[in-house]
C-alpha cells in the first residue's frame, strides 16, 4: 500500500479541521501519502510527526512570480522551511494542470518556475524534495492507439522537452491525471471500470489493453519516448470516479465508483505495470479524500471516499481494522501547578535546563522551529516549557522543579501571554515618542492569521520587510492624497445614492447603521474592484452578499478568543465552533477574492489608463513588475484586499453611526451643525467635497464623536519587538499591548467633563486625530498608525454633511431620546449593539 496516496481537496465549507484529518489518516487508514492543492500552512503543520508524506502545491497564480529566484526562495522559506522535516514534504507541484489553462504567459513560466523552486530548495539545504507539475491528458495530441501517443505540437519541443530534461536531471517524476471517467462512452464503460471486456487491440505493438487506465498511461509513455525520455518516472497525480451524479448521468453510481477505485488500488499495488511498461509501479493519488460540497456539479461533489464526518462513502480497502472511525478526541491537559524559571535565572542557566530536559527523553519538538510552542522564541519561554514538561512528567513533585534553584512552582499558567493595557495618555505618549519601534509588532492573532492569509497583509503582518513594502504599496496606490482625490466622484455618487435611498422611506424607521455600512462597502468595493458591493453588477457569492460575509469576518476578528491569550487552550476552538466558523468565512472570502482576481486577469487584455485602474488592476500590474523588492503573490494580493475591507469599511460606517446617534442625543448640536451646512450649501442640490472645508462646526462634531467612540477602541493589538522600560517598568519582549483609545480619550487629566459630548471643546485648539496628540488616538499613532485617515475622513464628512443638509431627523414614532440605546457591541471595531434607526423628513431646500 506504499504506492497509494490521496488528494486532500478542500473546496468545501464543511470539512473537519486539518488536525483531525491528519489524525484520522494516520490512525484509521493505511494511506501514507497525501497531496494538497495549495500550501495551506494549517494542513502542512497538522501532518507534522504523522509519518505521512505530503505533496504541496504552488498555486497557478504564483507561478509567474516564483519563476524568479528571489521569489522562489521566499516561497520556499515561507511554505516549506518552517514545516520541514517534521512534516514529511516529499514533493512540490508547481501549479496544477497548467497546460490546460491555455494561458501562454503562465505556460511559458512553468519550467523556469520548477527550476527556480528546485534551486531554492537546494539553497535552503533541502535535497530530498522533488519538484514536478501534474498534467491532464489534454497535453496529448494523439492517444489512440496507446503506442502512437504524442504531445501537442510546439509544446513538445518548447515545454515538454525541457521539462522532461529537468525531471531526468533531478530524478523527479512526470505527473499525470488519467481519468477514464472523462474518456468513456456507453460502449467502453466496462473497459473504463476495469470490468471484464474484450479489450482494445493496438495493432502497432500487438498488445491488447484490458483497461483504459493502462491505455492512458501508455499513451503518455509513448509521447515521452518519442521525445527520448522513456526513462523518466511517471506518477499518477489524480484519478478517480464519482459515486453520485445527476439523474441518468451515464456511468455514475456508487457501484461503479467502487469498481473503479477498488480495482485501481489492486492494479497499482500488484506491480504488473502496463503493456508498454511491464513490472513497473506507479505511485498513485486517488481523487479525493472528501466529498467537496462547493464543487460546481453533482458528480464533481461526489468524488470523495469519505464524508466530512469521516464516515466512508465506500471502502476501497484502505481503512484499518479499527472500530468505527470517529474524530480523534482531544483531552485538555488539566494541571493546577506549573514549574517556571525564577525571575533572576540567567539565560545560560536556562539554556542548560533546556538541554538537560530535552536529552532526558522529554519531547521538545513543540519548542523547536515550526513547533506549536516555538513562539515566543526566547530562551526564557522555551525553558519555561521544557522545565514544566519535565516537572509534570515526573508527577509534579516540587523537587523536580528545583533545577539548581532556577525553577519555582507557581499557580499561574505560564502559557498565558503577558498583556499590557495602556489607558493613560502619558503612557501612550512615552510609547509613541520614545519606543515606537519596540511597540511596532503585531501578535499572530488566531482568527486574524487565517483571515489575513497568514498575515500577508499590512494590519496583521509582523514588523519587518514585508510589512514595510506592503504598507508602501497601500499608501502609494490607494491611500495617497492624489489617489484619494481621484475617487471623489465615487464618493459623490455613493453618498447621492444613500440620500436617494433614504428619500424612498421618508417618515418611517430607517436603519442608518445598515445604510452606512452599505455606503462604506460600496465605496471600498468600487475603488478596489471597480464594482459596487451591492448593485447588480457587483459580485455575488452564491446569494450571500459580500458585506454579509464581511460582517461575519468582523465578528470573528473581534470575538474574545481564548487561544490569543492562552495558546495552549487553542483546542477549545475546535469545540466551541470557532474553527469551523473561521474556516467557512475564510472560504467565502477567498472564493470572492478569487473571482475578483480572475475577472481582472480576464479583462487585462484591454489596456486601462493608469487613472482608470482599480486597486486590483494596480496590484496585478505590480505583481508583473520583475523589480519588486518583495514578490507579490496571489495570497498577498488577497491579504491586501482583506486589509482594506477589514480595516477600512466597518470603521467608517461605525463613525457615521455614532455621529448620528450623538446628534440625536444632543439636539442643540444637531441644530447648529444643520444651520452651518444649510448655510454653506444654500441654493445647491447637494453638499460637494469642495464645500467641506467651510464646515468648521461639523468637523468639531466629528472629532468629538471620534473621541467618545473611537471605532477601534483598543486600536489593533500590538506586541513588543524588544524589551524596554516605560516609566520605570521593565516591559519584556513579546508582551501583548492593548492601547485603550476610549480610556485615553476620556482621561480626566486631559479632558474636562470627559464623558459629555461637547464639540466646542476642540474650538480654536490645535488637537487632531493624526497621531500627534496622544490624548486623542482614534487612528492610533506611530509607524503602525492608520494609513487610511485621508481615505475615510472625506467620506465621513461628505455623508454627514449631506444627511444633515437634506433631511430633518427624528427618532422613530413613540421613541424618546432617553430610550436611545448607546450600548456598544464588542468587536475589533465597536459599533452600536442595537442598530441606529431614525426617521427622516425632507428639509425644504
Sites of contact with ligand HEM (CB under 6 A): 458-459, 471, 474, 643-644, 647-648, 651-652, 655, 711-712, 715-716, 778-781, 784-788, 791-792
Helix or strand or coil: residue 347? helix
Sign of CA dihedral 439, 441, 447, 451: positive
Residue 677 CB neighbour total at 10 angstroms: 24
Q: Whole-number minimum distance, CB 481 to ligand HEM, in Å?
A: 14
Sign of CA dihedral 655, 657, 660, 666: negative
Q: Which is nearer to ligand HEM, 387 or 474 (CB)?
A: 474
* Alpha carbons within 13 A on the beta-carbon side of 720: 22
Q: Which is nearer to ligand HEM, 211 or 554 (CB)?
A: 554
Is residue 276 within 8 Å of residue 74, measured between CB atoms? no
How many Å apart are CA 264 and CA 414, to the nearest integer? 52
Residue spans of beta strands (DSSP E) within 669-733: 718-719, 724-726, 729-731
- Catalytic hit among 77, 97, 704, 752: 97
Told to judge if 97 belongs to the known catalytic residues of this protein, a careful annotator would answer yes
- 222-243 burial string, b = 16+ CB within 10 Å, else e? bbbbebebeebbbbbbbbbbbb
Burial of 693 (C-beta count, 10 Å sphere; 0-12/13-18/19+): exposed
Helix or strand or coil: residue 208? strand
Q: Whole-number minimum distance, CB 628 to ligand HEM, in Å?
A: 19
Distances (CA, A) of 687 to 23, 128, 691, 780: 62, 66, 6, 30
Distances (CA, A) of 272 to 223, 275, 372: 21, 9, 44
Is residue 380 within 8 Å of residue 341, measured between CB atoms? yes
Q: Whole-number minimum distance, CB 696 to ligand HEM, in Å?
A: 20
Q: Whole-number minimum distance, CB 562 to ligand HEM, in Å?
A: 23
* Alpha carbons within 13 A on the beta-carbon side of 497: 17
How many Å apart are CA 702 and CA 757, to the nearest integer? 11
Q: Which is nearer to ligand HEM, 39 or 786 (CB)?
A: 786
Q: Whole-number minimum distance, CB 446 to ligand HEM, in Å?
A: 18
Q: Whole-number minimum distance, CB 838 to ligand HEM, in Å?
A: 20
Q: Which is nearer to ligand HEM, 41 or 788 (CB)?
A: 788
How many Å apart are CA 400 and CA 387, to the nearest integer? 9
Burial of 840 (C-beta count, 10 Å sphere; 0-12/13-18/19+): buried
Q: Which residue is nearest to ligand HEM (CB)?
A: 780
Q: Whole-number minimum distance, CB 75 to ligand HEM, in Å?
A: 24
Q: Which is nearer to ligand HEM, 592 or 791 (CB)?
A: 791
Q: Whole-number minimum distance, CB 450 to ligand HEM, in Å?
A: 18
Give kind and range of the element (H or E) at residue 791.
Answer: helix 789-806
How many Å apart are CA 480 and CA 499, to the nearest integer? 28
How many Å apart are CA 153 and CA 162, to the nearest integer? 14
> H/E/C letters for each residue in 245-301?
CCCCCCCCCHHHHHHHHHHHHHHHHHCCECCCCECCCCCEEEECCECCCCCCCCCHH
Distances (CA, A) of 147 to 198, 216, 406, 625: 19, 10, 74, 44
CA angle (476, 478, 481) in 5-degree steps: 70
Q: Which is nearer to ligand HEM, 672 or 784 (CB)?
A: 784
Cell of residue 709, nine digits: 467612540
Q: Whole-number minimum distance, CB 787 to ligand HEM, in Å?
A: 5
- Catalytic hit among 77, 165, 238, 676: 238
Cell of residue 3, nine digits: 504506492
Q: Which is nearer to ligand HEM, 79 or 459 (CB)?
A: 459
Q: Which is nearer to ligand HEM, 450 or 784 (CB)?
A: 784
Q: Whole-number minimum distance, CB 729 to ligand HEM, in Å?
A: 21
Residue spans of beta strands (DSSP E) within 28-136: 33-36, 53-58, 88-94, 130-132, 134-136
Q: Whole-number minimum distance, CB 442 to ligand HEM, in Å?
A: 6
Distances (CA, A) of 461 to 137, 640, 716, 719, 795: 41, 11, 11, 11, 27
Residue spans of beta strands (DSSP E) within 284-402: 284-287, 338-341
Q: Which is nearer to ligand HEM, 212 or 830 (CB)?
A: 830
Q: Which is nearer to ligand HEM, 143 or 521 (CB)?
A: 521
Q: Whole-number minimum distance, CB 747 to ligand HEM, in Å?
A: 17
How many Å apart are CA 260 and CA 266, to the nearest integer? 10
Q: Whole-number minimum distance, CB 433 to ligand HEM, in Å?
A: 14
Whose CA is closest to 200, among 239, 251, 145, 149?
145
Q: Which is nearer to ligand HEM, 146 or 648 (CB)?
A: 648
Told to judge if 187 belongs to the known catalytic residues of this protein, a careful annotator would answer no
Is residue 546 within 8 Å of residue 596, measured between CB atoms? no
Whose CA is closest to 340, among 395, 410, 403, 397?
410
Residues acting as catalytic residues = 97, 238
Amino acid at each position: 500500500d506504499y504506492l497509494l496516496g490521496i488528494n486532500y481537496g478542500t473546496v468545501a465549507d464543511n470539512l473537519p479541521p486539518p488536525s483531525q484529518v491528519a489524525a484520522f489518516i494516520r490512525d484509521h487508514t493505511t494511506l501514507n501519502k497525501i497531496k494538497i492543492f495549495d500550501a495551506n500552512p494549517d494542513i502542512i503543520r497538522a501532518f507534522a510527526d504523522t509519518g505521512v508524506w505530503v505533496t504541496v502545491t504552488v498555486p497557478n497564480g504564483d507561478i509567474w512570480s516564483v519563476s524568479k529566484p528571489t521569489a522562489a526562495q521566499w516561497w520556499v522559506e515561507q511554505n516549506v522551511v518552517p514545516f520541514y522535516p517534521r512534516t514529511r514534504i516529499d514533493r512540490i507541484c508547481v501549479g496544477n494542470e497548467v497546460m490546460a489553462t491555455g494561458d501562454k504567459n503562465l505556460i511559458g513560466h512553468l519550467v523556469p518556475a520548477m527550476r527556480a523552486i528546485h534551486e531554492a530548495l537546494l539553497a535552503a539545504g533541502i535535497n530530498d524534495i522533488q519538484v514536478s507539475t501534474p498534467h491532464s491528458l489534454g497535453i496529448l495530441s494523439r492517444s489512440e492507439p496507446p503506442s502512437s501517443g504524442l504531445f501537442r505540437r510546439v509544446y513538445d519541443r518548447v515545454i515538454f522537452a525541457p521539462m522532461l530534461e529537468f525531471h531526468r536531471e533531478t530524478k523527479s517524476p512526470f505527473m499525470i491525471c488519467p481519468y477514464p471517467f472523462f474518456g468513456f462512452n456507453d460502449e467502453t464503460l466496462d473497459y473504463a471500470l476495469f470490468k471484464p471486456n474484450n479489450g482494445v487491440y493496438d495493432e502497432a505493438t500487438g498488445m491488447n489493453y484490458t483497461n483504459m487506465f493502462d491505455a492512458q498511461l501508455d499513451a503518455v509513455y509513448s509521447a515521452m519516448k518519442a521525445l527520448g525520455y522513456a526513462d523518466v518516472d511517471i506518477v499518477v497525480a489524480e484519478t478517480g470516479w464519482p459515486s453520485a451524479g445527476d439523474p441518468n448521468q451515464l456511468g455514475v453510481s456508487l457501484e461503479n465508483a467502487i469498481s473503479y477505485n477498488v480495482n485501481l488500488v489492486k492494479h497499482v499495488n500488484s506491480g504488473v505495470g502496463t503493456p508498454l511498461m511491464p513490472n513497473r509501479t506507479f505511485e498513485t493519488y486517488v481523487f479525493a479524500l472528501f466529498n467537496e460540497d462547493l464543487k460546481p456539479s453533482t458528480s464533481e461533489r461526489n468524488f470523495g471516499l469519505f464524508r466530512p464526518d469521516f464516515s466512508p462513502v465506500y471502502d476501497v480497502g484502505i481503512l484499518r481494522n479499527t472500530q468505527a472511525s470517529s474524530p480523534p478526541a482531544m483531552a485538555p491537559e488539566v494541571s493546577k501547578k506549573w514549574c517556571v524559571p525564577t525571575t533572576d535565572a540567567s539565560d545560560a542557566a536556562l539554556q542548560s535546563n533546556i538541554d538537560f530536559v530535552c536529552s532526558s527523553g522529554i519531547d521538545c519538538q513543540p519548542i523547536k522551529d515550526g513547533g506549536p510552542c516555538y513562539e515566543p522564541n526566547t530562551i526564557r519561554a522555551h525553558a519555561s516549557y521544557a522545565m514544566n514538561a519535565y516537572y509534570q512528567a515526573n508527577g509534579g513533585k516540587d523537587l523536580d522543579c528545583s533545577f539548581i534553584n532556577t525553577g519555582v512552582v507557581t499557580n499561574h499558567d505560564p502559557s498565558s501571554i503577558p498583556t499590557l493595557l495602556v489607558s493613560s495618555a502619558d503612557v501612550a505618549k512615552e510609547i509613541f515618542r520614545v519606543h515606537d519601534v519596540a511597540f511596532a509588532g503585531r501578535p499572530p492573532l488566531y482568527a486574524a492569521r487565517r483571515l489575513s492569509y497568514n498575515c500577508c497583509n499590512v494590519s496583521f503582518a509582523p514588523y519587518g520587510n514585508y510589512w514595510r513594502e506592503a504598507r508602501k504599496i497601500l499608501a502609494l496606490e490607494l491611500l495617497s492624497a492624489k489617489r484619494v482625490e481621484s475617487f471623489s466622484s465615487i464618493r459623490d455618487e455613493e453618498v447621492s445614492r444613500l440620500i436617494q435611498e433614504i428619500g424612498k422611506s421618508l417618515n418611517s424607521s430607517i436603519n442608518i447603521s445598515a445604510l452606512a455600512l452599505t455606503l462604506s462597502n460600496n465605496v471600498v468595493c468600487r475603488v478596489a474592484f471597480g464594482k459596487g458591493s451591492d448593485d447588480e453588477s457587483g459580485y455575488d457569492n452564491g446569494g450571500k452578499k459580500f458585506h454579509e460575509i464581511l460582517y461575519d469576518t468582523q465578528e470573528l476578528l473581534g470575538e474574545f478568543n481564548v487561544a490569543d491569550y492562552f495558546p495552549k487552550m487553542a483546542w477549545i476552538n475546535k469545540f466551541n465552533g470557532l474553527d469551523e466558523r473561521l474556516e467557512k468565512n475564510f472560504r467565502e472570502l477567498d472564493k470572492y477574492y478569487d473571482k475578483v482576481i480572475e475577472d481582472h486577469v480576464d479583462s487585462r487584455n484591454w489596456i486601462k489608463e493608469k487613472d482608470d485602474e482599480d486597486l486590483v488592476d494596480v496590484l496585478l500590474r505590480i505583481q508583473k513588475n520583475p523589480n519588486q523588492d518583495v514578490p507579490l503573490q496571489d495570497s498577498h494580493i488577497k491579504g491586501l484586499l482583506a486589509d482594506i475591507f477589514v480595516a477600512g469599511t466597518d470603521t467608517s460606517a461605525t463613525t457615521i453611526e455614532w455621529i448620528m446617534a450623538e446628534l440625536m442625543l444632543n439636539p442643540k448640536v444637531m441644530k447648529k451643525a444643520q444651520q452651518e451646512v444649510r448655510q454653506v450649501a444654500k441654493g445647491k442640490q447637494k453638499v460637494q467635497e469642495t464645500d467641506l472645508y467651510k464646515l468648521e462646526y461639523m468637523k468639531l462634531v466629528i472629532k468629538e464623536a471620534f473621541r467618545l467612540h473611537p471605532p477601534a477602541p483598543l486600536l489593533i493589538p500590538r506586541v513588543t519587538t524588544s524589551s524596554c522600560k516605560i516609566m520605570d517598568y521593565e516591559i519584556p519582549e513579546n508582551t501583548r499591548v492593548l492601547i485603550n483609545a476610549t480610556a485615553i480619550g476620556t482621561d480626566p487629566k486631559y479632558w474636562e467633563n470627559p464623558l459629555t459630548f461637547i464639540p466646542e471643546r476642540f474650538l480654536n485648539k490645535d488637537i487632531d486625530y493624526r497621531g500627534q496628540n496622544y490624548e486623542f488616538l482614534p487612528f492610533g499613532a506611530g509607524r503602525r498608525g492608520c494609513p487610511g485617515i485621508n481615505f475615510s475622513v472625506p467620506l465621513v464628512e461628505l455623508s454627514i454633511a449631506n444627511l444633515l443638509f437634506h433631511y430633518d431627523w427624528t427618532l422613530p414614532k413613540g421613541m424618546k431620546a432617553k430610550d436611545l440605546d448607546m450600548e456598544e457591541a464588542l468587536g475589533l471595531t465597536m459599533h452600536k449593539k442595537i442598530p441606529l434607526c431614525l426617521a427622516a423628513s425632507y428639509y425644504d431646500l
